[in-house]
A and B are shown apart, each in its own frame.
Chain A
Amino acid sequence: GAGVSQSPRYKVAKRGQDVALRCDPISGHVSLFWYQQALGQGPEFLTYFQNEAQLDKSGLPSDRFFAERPEGSVSTLKIQRTQQEDSAVYLCASGLAGITDTQYFGPGTRLTVL
């Protein structure tokens, strides 16, 4: 069956540009998570949605980061005025229901800020 998909797979941005990263979760999954993974590190939590409601955004590193899931399915992570330290892989995960359920990850978007 179809898993979590993310686009684009690779994004190169000049410092100061805005970027938008898309996540298509597994159909029917209520929970959606965004993580940031630096090279050689484990993923770090950014934000969590239950349907269209953003219930936890405690991991967003600054107000330049913004996420939305307006219809409870597709989600977009937007980064405004990108900085070099934003370079990382951005992973999206979805889960069937609650926060203790297994999270299934997409392939990630590798963002490089020059």
Chain B
Amino acid sequence: EDQVTQSPEALRLQEGESSSLNCSYTVSGLRGLFWYRQDPGKGPEFLFTLYSAGEEKEKERLKATLTKKESFLHITAPKPEDSATYLCAVSANQAGTALIFGKGTTLSVSS
């Protein structure tokens, strides 16, 4: 069964304290891995798409990487405005048209 697991469930950081969020997946035929940010009461906001192992993408303080089994979202010197829930999702051949989402990691950054 296709599965996406995110860890940790919650993460509390001090401003400037860098860390990483993990997304591990077990799917048949990965077509793409997506990272989204979701603020309370809002829909997911697109961050990155990764298609193949070894690929990396960066945007401001965020960097996403992909291996054959997992993806990491690295947050460098976070600020309070980075506080949100970060969702990982995969598109896979066996899953048809659906994106399969993890439960998310809720990040809190305090000043």
Partner-B contacts on A (CB < 8 A): 4, 33, 35, 40-45, 48, 55-56, 58-59, 91, 93, 99-100, 102-108
Contact = CB atoms under 8 A, between A and B. Distances in A.
Interface residues of B, number: 24
B43 A91 contact: yes
B97 A55 contact: yes
Interface of A is mostly: loop
Given A42-B87, A42-B103, A42-B104, A106 B43 contact: yes
Given A100-B32, A107-B42, A43 B97 contact: no
A108 B36 CA distance: 15
B98 interface: yes
A39 to B, nearest CB: 11
Nearest to A42: B101
16 contacts: A4-B43, A41-B103, A43-B87, A43-B89, A43-B101, A48-B97, A48-B98, A59-B98, A91-B43, A99-B31, A99-B91, A100-B32, A103-B99, A105-B43, A105-B44, A107-B42
